[in-house]
Structure 1
């Protein structure tokens, strides 16, 4: 790449020490050249020592209970990203990256990991799976999303979803992926359809605040522009929660007076 783009290591101005844990996990599908990963050109010093990289024959990985391209998840990826799914399925090799970190005052760990991901795409990678945001990208799609001058928006590292509430005309706005920043995901319940834009903006603002280090306390009141009384944060969940695979901050849109 003649004009490489570097991944930033954002400072986290709202950060305070905590017991939170950062988790990263990626699958890279391809047929890789046996050379040193060219991550330095992306501003990366290589994988952090906390990240383990394992190489697998794709045929062997298909037998693994947690293989992500089968079952309901496989159907989701095939439907949402058919080109990337086809390339991933045809790849003979899979590299799995997993890591856990203590809460950190900056995101250098993410810069270094993403630099290695970019380098792997330069030496034979054809698709990247980010299970934390339930997203499968072809190599070109991943580059377009993350190889951006001055760094991709924090929003690109998180998935924001909208679902209908059960037996209600209200909506549920929720996220996946904030484990990459060692923070709980957002669950915003009971949103009226006419407030969807305001609720989406609130959710994105809370994502960015947490990615930059903020913590929310159980029972904390949060002001929302145009919403009388704001909303109250309730902490819950855990890594075994199937909706998030993470802890979460639950918020409820106030009922109309």
Structure 2
């Protein structure tokens, strides 16, 4: 890979100004030189965008923090899903915390620049990256495969799509996490029957792409879905402290 890759803009062709802000947060575990020189230009990034900062901690010190992400329910989930990466993160001497809040914008260049910095951190001592918004810890190789994609990883790679049970035994709840990276609400599809699970999953992926590229849904807006006799009606709601999303969300109710 060349030392400098030209920065290519990541446009949002469906952008409509939104009231919400984009939130980025990552934990990079590893061992780093005292002077942190991050080769982000290799990955088309001039450095962190304004509003995003790096804080450096000794892992043993950060572990005392009540919100330390390798403890509690999130830590247990990570340990079960990716035990080797969890152990590497647990024993890493240092943690670089990358976080910031940004105003809604008509490009995703802020995300491109931040991902380039994260990629550079893996080149100078990072061994694992935690994205708490999607409840996922990546080892270095997995992170590179997932995000270092020509012209940028697709929006789907930045978001977690989950399936949970509903009260009715034959119905499911399809929902997302991670859309705060784009300054957009997450998605919530209730009452999905077993036979429509795949259709709902594909719909979620399409809506993730639309929203991440700038679209918004108004309250009461109807969404037509192939194969459904009735449209789905958008119901924005929720709050940033909703534990199911850590974000606001748009709810759709699958027809009976």
| TM-score normalised to structure 2 length | 0.96
Could you tell me which residue of structure 2 aligns to residue 192 of structure 1?
193
**1:2 and 1:190 mapped to 2: Cα distance?**
50
Could you tell me which residue of structure 2 aligns to residue 54 of structure 1?
55
Could you tell me which residue of structure 2 aligns to residue 20 of structure 1?
20
Could you tell me which residue of structure 2 aligns to residue 245 of structure 1?
246
Map 1:1-257 → 2, pairs under 5 A: 1-2=1-2, 9-33=9-33, 34-255=35-256
* CA deviation vs aligned residue, 1:169-190 (integer Å, no higher than 9, x gap): 2011000000000000000000
Structure 2 residue runs of 5 or longer lacking an equivalent are: none
**2:189 and 2:205 mapped to 1: Cα distance?**
11
**2:66 and 2:16 mapped to 1: Cα distance?**
38
Q: Is the 8 A contact 1:9 1:110 kept in 2?
A: no
| TM-score normalised to structure 1 length | 0.96
* CA deviation vs aligned residue, 1:177-234 (integer Å, no higher than 9, x gap): 0000000000000000111111111111110000010000111110001101210010
| Residue aligned with 1:215, SS | coil
C-alpha deviation, 1:18, in angstroms:
2.6
**1:223 and 1:96 mapped to 2: Cα distance?**
41
| Residue aligned with 2:32, SS | coil
C-alpha deviation, 1:167, in angstroms:
4.3
Q: Is the 8 A contact 1:7 1:151 kept in 2?
A: no
Q: Is the 8 A contact 1:7 1:115 kept in 2?
A: no
**1:135 and 1:156 mapped to 2: Cα distance?**
11
| Residue aligned with 1:228, SS | coil
Of 113-122 and 29-38, the range deviating more from structure 2: 29-38
For this pair of structures, how many residues does the alignment match?
A: 255
Structure 1 residue runs of 5 or longer lacking an equivalent are: none
* CA deviation vs aligned residue, 1:109-137 (integer Å, no higher than 9, x gap): 00110000000000000000000111000
